[in-house]
Amino acid sequence: MSNLSVVVPAYNEENIQETMSQLDSLDEFSFVSETYLVDDCSTKENREAITDYLENNETRIKTVTMLENSNKVGAIEEAVRHTNSDYALVMDADLRIDELKNVEYAVNELEENSYDALSFKVWPDYEDSTLVGSIIDRLHDLDYASKRNVEQATSNVFSMNGGALYRTDVLEESLDRHSGIFSGEDSELASILNFELDCEVAYSDEISFETETPSTSLEHLEQKKRWEEGASRTFSEHRDEYFSEMLSFSPVGKSLMYKGAKSAFPYALTASLSAAALTDNPDLAIGILGASYVGDLGHTLGHGFYSQRNNQLKDENAIKFSPLKPLQHGVEFLYSNFSSLNELPRNLVKK
Protein backbone atom coordinates (compact mmCIF):
# COMPACT_ATOMS: atom_id res chain seq x y z
CA MET A 1 0.00 0.00 0.00
CA SER A 2 1.28 3.48 -0.86
CA ASN A 3 2.12 6.00 1.85
CA LEU A 4 -0.01 8.90 2.97
CA SER A 5 0.59 12.42 4.27
CA VAL A 6 -2.05 14.10 6.43
CA VAL A 7 -2.25 17.89 6.05
CA VAL A 8 -4.26 20.10 8.42
CA PRO A 9 -4.37 23.89 7.96
CA ALA A 10 -5.38 25.70 11.15
CA TYR A 11 -6.30 29.30 11.88
CA ASN A 12 -7.22 30.34 15.42
CA GLU A 13 -8.60 26.87 16.06
CA GLU A 14 -10.21 26.84 19.50
CA ASN A 15 -9.60 23.12 20.12
CA ILE A 16 -6.19 22.89 18.45
CA GLN A 17 -4.77 20.45 21.01
CA GLU A 18 -7.68 18.08 20.41
CA THR A 19 -6.88 18.28 16.70
CA MET A 20 -3.24 17.43 17.37
CA SER A 21 -4.24 14.49 19.55
CA GLN A 22 -6.29 13.08 16.67
CA LEU A 23 -3.33 13.46 14.33
CA ASP A 24 -1.14 11.53 16.76
CA SER A 25 -3.74 8.75 16.84
CA LEU A 26 -3.09 8.21 13.12
CA ASP A 27 0.48 7.18 13.97
CA GLU A 28 -0.67 3.65 14.74
CA PHE A 29 -1.21 3.08 11.02
CA SER A 30 1.96 2.19 9.15
CA PHE A 31 0.76 3.71 5.87
CA VAL A 32 0.67 7.22 7.41
CA SER A 33 4.18 8.50 6.74
CA GLU A 34 3.82 12.05 8.07
CA THR A 35 1.35 14.54 9.50
CA TYR A 36 1.55 18.28 8.96
CA LEU A 37 -0.15 20.96 11.03
CA VAL A 38 0.09 24.35 9.33
CA ASP A 39 -0.59 27.33 11.59
CA ASP A 40 -1.91 29.97 9.20
CA CYS A 41 -0.65 32.96 11.22
CA SER A 42 -2.95 32.44 14.21
CA THR A 43 -3.00 34.49 17.40
CA LYS A 44 -0.19 34.30 19.96
CA GLU A 45 -2.45 32.29 22.29
CA ASN A 46 -3.13 29.73 19.59
CA ARG A 47 0.55 29.36 18.75
CA GLU A 48 1.33 28.91 22.45
CA ALA A 49 -1.25 26.11 22.66
CA ILE A 50 0.50 24.35 19.76
CA THR A 51 3.91 24.77 21.41
CA ASP A 52 2.54 23.50 24.73
CA TYR A 53 1.26 20.33 23.09
CA LEU A 54 4.55 19.69 21.30
CA GLU A 55 6.54 20.12 24.52
CA ASN A 56 4.33 17.89 26.65
CA ASN A 57 3.53 15.01 24.31
CA GLU A 58 5.44 12.44 22.33
CA THR A 59 4.49 13.37 18.82
CA ARG A 60 5.64 13.06 15.22
CA ILE A 61 3.55 16.01 14.04
CA LYS A 62 5.48 18.38 11.81
CA THR A 63 4.42 21.98 12.31
CA VAL A 64 4.69 24.87 9.89
CA THR A 65 4.00 28.46 10.90
CA MET A 66 2.99 30.93 8.20
CA LEU A 67 4.36 34.46 8.67
CA GLU A 68 1.15 35.94 7.28
CA ASN A 69 -2.33 34.56 6.77
CA SER A 70 -2.60 32.73 3.45
CA ASN A 71 -6.36 32.09 3.41
CA LYS A 72 -6.00 28.33 4.00
CA VAL A 73 -5.05 27.54 0.39
CA GLY A 74 -1.50 28.82 0.82
CA ALA A 75 -1.14 26.90 4.07
CA ILE A 76 -2.10 23.63 2.35
CA GLU A 77 0.26 24.41 -0.52
CA GLU A 78 3.15 25.05 1.87
CA ALA A 79 2.73 21.64 3.53
CA VAL A 80 2.18 19.72 0.30
CA ARG A 81 5.37 21.25 -1.11
CA HIS A 82 7.35 19.33 1.53
CA THR A 83 5.59 15.97 1.31
CA ASN A 84 7.06 12.90 -0.33
CA SER A 85 3.96 10.70 -0.11
CA ASP A 86 1.88 9.29 -2.93
CA TYR A 87 -1.37 10.52 -1.38
CA ALA A 88 -2.48 13.42 0.80
CA LEU A 89 -5.45 13.58 3.14
CA VAL A 90 -6.35 17.26 3.62
CA MET A 91 -8.78 18.12 6.39
CA ASP A 92 -9.92 21.23 8.24
CA ALA A 93 -8.72 21.52 11.83
CA ASP A 94 -12.26 21.36 13.24
CA LEU A 95 -13.05 18.01 11.59
CA ARG A 96 -13.00 14.76 13.56
CA ILE A 97 -12.70 11.39 11.80
CA ASP A 98 -15.38 8.99 13.06
CA GLU A 99 -13.33 5.81 12.54
CA LEU A 100 -9.59 6.25 12.04
CA LYS A 101 -9.16 2.76 10.60
CA ASN A 102 -11.38 3.75 7.67
CA VAL A 103 -8.65 6.02 6.35
CA GLU A 104 -6.83 2.92 5.12
CA TYR A 105 -9.98 1.67 3.35
CA ALA A 106 -10.32 5.05 1.62
CA VAL A 107 -6.74 4.96 0.33
CA ASN A 108 -7.35 1.43 -0.98
CA GLU A 109 -10.53 2.58 -2.73
CA LEU A 110 -8.70 5.44 -4.40
CA GLU A 111 -5.86 3.15 -5.55
CA GLU A 112 -8.03 0.28 -6.77
CA ASN A 113 -10.31 2.54 -8.83
CA SER A 114 -7.53 4.82 -10.12
CA TYR A 115 -9.31 7.88 -8.75
CA ASP A 116 -7.45 11.18 -8.52
CA ALA A 117 -9.42 12.42 -5.52
CA LEU A 118 -12.16 11.35 -3.10
CA SER A 119 -14.62 13.53 -1.22
CA PHE A 120 -16.14 12.22 2.02
CA LYS A 121 -19.18 12.45 4.23
CA VAL A 122 -19.39 15.46 6.54
CA TRP A 123 -22.05 15.90 9.18
CA PRO A 124 -22.53 18.09 12.28
CA ASP A 125 -21.10 17.03 15.63
CA TYR A 126 -24.31 17.87 17.55
CA GLU A 127 -22.30 19.15 20.51
CA ASP A 128 -24.05 22.53 20.86
CA SER A 129 -26.65 22.22 23.60
CA THR A 130 -28.20 25.68 23.08
CA LEU A 131 -31.57 25.98 21.33
CA VAL A 132 -30.21 27.99 18.40
CA GLY A 133 -27.16 25.73 18.09
CA SER A 134 -29.21 22.54 18.09
CA ILE A 135 -31.52 23.93 15.38
CA ILE A 136 -28.53 24.97 13.24
CA ASP A 137 -27.03 21.47 13.67
CA ARG A 138 -30.18 19.85 12.29
CA LEU A 139 -30.51 22.29 9.40
CA HIS A 140 -26.88 21.58 8.49
CA ASP A 141 -27.56 17.86 8.77
CA LEU A 142 -30.27 18.23 6.12
CA ASP A 143 -27.96 20.37 3.93
CA TYR A 144 -25.05 17.93 4.03
CA ALA A 145 -27.34 14.97 3.32
CA SER A 146 -28.92 16.77 0.35
CA LYS A 147 -25.48 17.48 -1.15
CA ARG A 148 -24.46 13.82 -0.76
CA ASN A 149 -27.68 12.64 -2.41
CA VAL A 150 -27.00 14.77 -5.49
CA GLU A 151 -23.35 13.73 -5.70
CA GLN A 152 -24.28 10.05 -5.50
CA ALA A 153 -27.13 10.39 -7.99
CA THR A 154 -25.09 12.33 -10.58
CA SER A 155 -21.70 10.68 -9.88
CA ASN A 156 -20.22 14.16 -9.62
CA VAL A 157 -18.49 16.02 -6.79
CA PHE A 158 -19.02 19.80 -6.97
CA SER A 159 -17.25 20.69 -3.71
CA MET A 160 -14.37 18.96 -1.94
CA ASN A 161 -15.78 19.81 1.52
CA GLY A 162 -13.35 20.31 4.38
CA GLY A 163 -11.83 16.85 4.09
CA ALA A 164 -10.68 15.00 0.98
CA LEU A 165 -8.08 12.51 -0.24
CA TYR A 166 -5.90 13.29 -3.26
CA ARG A 167 -3.10 11.92 -5.32
CA THR A 168 -0.33 14.26 -4.19
CA ASP A 169 0.80 15.21 -7.70
CA VAL A 170 -2.78 16.07 -8.66
CA LEU A 171 -3.25 18.16 -5.52
CA GLU A 172 -0.02 20.07 -6.20
CA GLU A 173 -1.09 20.96 -9.72
CA SER A 174 -4.58 21.94 -8.54
CA LEU A 175 -3.16 24.28 -5.91
CA ASP A 176 -0.84 25.85 -8.50
CA ARG A 177 -3.93 26.77 -10.52
CA HIS A 178 -6.02 27.92 -7.53
CA SER A 179 -6.76 31.62 -7.05
CA GLY A 180 -5.89 31.37 -3.36
CA ILE A 181 -9.15 33.04 -2.35
CA PHE A 182 -10.63 31.56 0.81
CA SER A 183 -14.26 32.18 -0.07
CA GLY A 184 -15.44 29.05 -1.89
CA GLU A 185 -12.01 27.43 -2.01
CA ASP A 186 -13.51 23.92 -1.92
CA SER A 187 -15.82 24.44 -4.93
CA GLU A 188 -13.01 26.13 -6.88
CA LEU A 189 -10.76 23.14 -6.21
CA ALA A 190 -13.47 20.76 -7.46
CA SER A 191 -13.89 22.83 -10.64
CA ILE A 192 -10.14 22.75 -11.32
CA LEU A 193 -10.11 18.99 -10.88
CA ASN A 194 -13.20 18.47 -13.07
CA PHE A 195 -12.59 20.96 -15.86
CA GLU A 196 -8.95 22.02 -16.07
CA LEU A 197 -7.29 18.73 -15.16
CA ASP A 198 -10.06 16.33 -16.27
CA CYS A 199 -9.57 14.21 -13.15
CA GLU A 200 -11.50 11.25 -11.83
CA VAL A 201 -13.15 12.57 -8.68
CA ALA A 202 -15.63 10.50 -6.67
CA TYR A 203 -17.64 10.54 -3.47
CA SER A 204 -16.88 7.86 -0.87
CA ASP A 205 -18.59 6.70 2.32
CA GLU A 206 -15.38 5.18 3.69
CA ILE A 207 -14.61 8.19 5.90
CA SER A 208 -17.08 10.26 7.89
CA PHE A 209 -16.08 13.60 9.38
CA GLU A 210 -17.84 15.38 12.20
CA THR A 211 -17.64 19.17 12.01
CA GLU A 212 -18.42 22.06 14.30
CA THR A 213 -21.32 24.14 13.06
CA PRO A 214 -21.84 27.87 13.71
CA SER A 215 -23.18 28.52 17.19
CA THR A 216 -25.16 31.68 16.37
CA SER A 217 -27.52 32.73 13.60
CA LEU A 218 -25.16 35.51 12.46
CA GLU A 219 -22.20 33.13 12.21
CA HIS A 220 -24.37 30.76 10.19
CA LEU A 221 -25.41 33.55 7.80
CA GLU A 222 -21.80 34.69 7.36
CA GLN A 223 -20.73 31.12 6.59
CA LYS A 224 -23.47 30.66 3.99
CA LYS A 225 -22.68 34.06 2.46
CA ARG A 226 -19.02 33.05 2.07
CA TRP A 227 -20.02 29.76 0.44
CA GLU A 228 -22.41 31.47 -1.99
CA GLU A 229 -19.85 34.13 -2.95
CA GLY A 230 -17.30 31.41 -3.65
CA ALA A 231 -19.74 29.33 -5.69
CA SER A 232 -20.75 32.38 -7.75
CA ARG A 233 -17.13 33.34 -8.41
CA THR A 234 -16.25 29.78 -9.41
CA PHE A 235 -19.23 29.65 -11.79
CA SER A 236 -18.24 32.95 -13.45
CA GLU A 237 -14.65 31.71 -13.94
CA HIS A 238 -15.81 28.46 -15.56
CA ARG A 239 -19.04 29.67 -17.17
CA ASP A 240 -18.35 28.21 -20.62
CA GLU A 241 -17.42 24.81 -19.20
CA TYR A 242 -20.50 24.77 -16.96
CA PHE A 243 -22.90 25.58 -19.82
CA SER A 244 -21.22 22.97 -22.01
CA GLU A 245 -21.67 20.35 -19.30
CA MET A 246 -25.34 21.27 -18.85
CA LEU A 247 -26.04 21.11 -22.59
CA SER A 248 -24.40 17.68 -22.81
CA PHE A 249 -26.42 16.50 -19.79
CA SER A 250 -23.27 15.05 -18.24
CA PRO A 251 -23.03 14.13 -14.53
CA VAL A 252 -21.52 17.56 -13.84
CA GLY A 253 -24.21 19.23 -15.91
CA LYS A 254 -27.03 17.42 -14.12
CA SER A 255 -25.74 18.47 -10.72
CA LEU A 256 -25.45 22.08 -11.94
CA MET A 257 -29.03 22.06 -13.21
CA TYR A 258 -30.18 20.70 -9.89
CA LYS A 259 -28.37 23.47 -8.02
CA GLY A 260 -29.89 26.05 -10.35
CA ALA A 261 -33.40 24.72 -9.80
CA LYS A 262 -32.87 24.69 -6.05
CA SER A 263 -31.75 28.34 -6.14
CA ALA A 264 -35.06 29.30 -7.77
CA PHE A 265 -36.89 28.99 -4.46
CA PRO A 266 -35.09 31.79 -2.56
CA TYR A 267 -35.17 33.93 -5.74
CA ALA A 268 -38.95 33.51 -5.87
CA LEU A 269 -39.22 34.25 -2.16
CA THR A 270 -37.24 37.49 -2.56
CA ALA A 271 -39.27 38.50 -5.61
CA SER A 272 -42.52 37.98 -3.75
CA LEU A 273 -41.30 39.98 -0.74
CA SER A 274 -40.17 42.82 -3.00
CA ALA A 275 -43.50 42.77 -4.84
CA ALA A 276 -45.36 42.90 -1.54
CA ALA A 277 -43.29 45.93 -0.56
CA LEU A 278 -43.70 47.82 -3.80
CA THR A 279 -47.31 47.18 -4.80
CA ASP A 280 -50.69 48.03 -3.32
CA ASN A 281 -52.10 44.71 -4.55
CA PRO A 282 -49.91 42.02 -2.98
CA ASP A 283 -52.14 39.03 -3.89
CA LEU A 284 -49.75 37.86 -6.61
CA ALA A 285 -46.78 38.30 -4.29
CA ILE A 286 -48.50 36.24 -1.61
CA GLY A 287 -49.21 33.53 -4.18
CA ILE A 288 -45.57 33.42 -5.28
CA LEU A 289 -44.50 33.38 -1.64
CA GLY A 290 -46.77 30.45 -0.86
CA ALA A 291 -45.75 28.52 -3.97
CA SER A 292 -42.04 29.02 -3.33
CA TYR A 293 -42.45 27.92 0.30
CA VAL A 294 -44.37 24.77 -0.67
CA GLY A 295 -41.89 23.95 -3.45
CA ASP A 296 -38.88 24.40 -1.18
CA LEU A 297 -40.52 22.39 1.59
CA GLY A 298 -41.35 19.58 -0.82
CA HIS A 299 -37.75 19.54 -2.05
CA THR A 300 -36.44 19.40 1.53
CA LEU A 301 -38.85 16.67 2.60
CA GLY A 302 -38.00 14.59 -0.47
CA HIS A 303 -34.31 14.71 0.33
CA GLY A 304 -35.01 14.27 4.02
CA PHE A 305 -37.04 11.06 3.64
CA TYR A 306 -34.56 9.68 1.12
CA SER A 307 -31.65 10.48 3.46
CA GLN A 308 -33.49 9.00 6.42
CA ARG A 309 -34.10 5.76 4.54
CA ASN A 310 -30.44 5.51 3.48
CA ASN A 311 -28.96 6.44 6.88
CA GLN A 312 -27.51 9.70 5.56
CA LEU A 313 -28.74 11.80 8.48
CA LYS A 314 -26.72 11.96 11.68
CA ASP A 315 -30.00 12.53 13.54
CA GLU A 316 -33.04 11.05 11.78
CA ASN A 317 -35.23 13.55 13.65
CA ALA A 318 -33.59 16.37 11.70
CA ILE A 319 -36.34 15.91 9.11
CA LYS A 320 -38.81 17.39 11.61
CA PHE A 321 -37.08 20.74 11.08
CA SER A 322 -37.84 20.73 7.35
CA PRO A 323 -40.54 23.46 7.64
CA LEU A 324 -37.78 25.86 8.72
CA LYS A 325 -35.65 25.26 5.60
CA PRO A 326 -37.59 27.55 3.19
CA LEU A 327 -37.39 30.35 5.75
CA GLN A 328 -33.68 29.66 6.22
CA HIS A 329 -33.06 29.76 2.46
CA GLY A 330 -34.93 33.06 2.12
CA VAL A 331 -33.04 34.74 4.95
CA GLU A 332 -29.70 33.42 3.64
CA PHE A 333 -30.46 34.74 0.16
CA LEU A 334 -31.42 38.17 1.47
CA TYR A 335 -28.36 38.34 3.73
CA SER A 336 -26.02 37.27 0.92
CA ASN A 337 -27.37 39.86 -1.49
CA PHE A 338 -27.53 42.87 0.83
CA SER A 339 -24.56 44.10 2.84
CA SER A 340 -26.88 44.38 5.82
CA LEU A 341 -30.53 43.71 6.52
CA ASN A 342 -30.99 47.48 6.89
CA GLU A 343 -30.62 47.78 3.11
CA LEU A 344 -33.87 45.93 2.44
CA PRO A 345 -36.45 48.04 0.58
CA ARG A 346 -37.81 50.74 2.86
CA ASN A 347 -41.37 49.89 1.85
CA LEU A 348 -40.87 46.33 3.06
CA VAL A 349 -39.78 47.59 6.47
CA LYS A 350 -42.76 49.94 6.65
CA LYS A 351 -45.24 47.21 5.82
The helix/strand/coil state of 96 is: strand
- At 344 the pLDDT is 43
CB 318: neighbour CB atoms within 10 A? 25
Question: Is the backbone of residue 114 left (phi > 0), alpha (psi -120 to 50) or beta?
Answer: left
Residue among 102, 91, 308 nearest 205 (CA): 102
DSSP letter for each residue of 338-351:
SSSGGGS-HHHHH-
- At 79 the pLDDT is 93
Question: Where does the chain have alpha helices with state H?
Answer: 16-25, 44-56, 73-80, 102-112, 131-154, 168-177, 185-191, 217-237, 239-248, 251-278, 283-309, 325-337, 346-350
* Nearby residues of 201 by Cβ (< 8 Å), 6 or more positions away: 115, 116, 117, 118, 119, 156, 157, 190, 193, 194
* Nearby residues of 27 by Cβ (< 8 Å), 6 or more positions away: 35, 60
Per-residue pLDDT of the chain (351 residues; tens, 9 = 90+): 569 999 999 999 989 999 999 999 998 888 899 999 999 999 999 999 999 999 999 999 999 999 999 989 999 999 998 888 999 999 999 999 988 889 999 999 999 999 999 999 999 999 888 899 999 999 999 999 988 888 887 777 878 888 999 999 999 999 999 988 876 788 889 889 988 999 999 988 888 999 988 888 888 888 888 887 877 787 788 788 878 878 888 776 777 777 666 666 666 666 666 666 666 666 777 777 787 888 889 888 998 998 989 888 999 999 999 999 988 888 887 787 765 444 444 434 433
Contact 13, 93 (CB under 8 A): yes
- At 147 the pLDDT is 84
- Going 269 to 321 to 252 to 247, the CA torsion angle's sign is negative
- At 351 the pLDDT is 37
Q: What is the separation, in whole angstroms, between the first and last Cα of the chain?
A: 66
Contact 110, 87 (CB under 8 A): yes
The helix/strand/coil state of 229 is: helix
Contact 66, 41 (CB under 8 A): yes
- At 15 the pLDDT is 92
CB 65: neighbour CB atoms within 10 A? 15
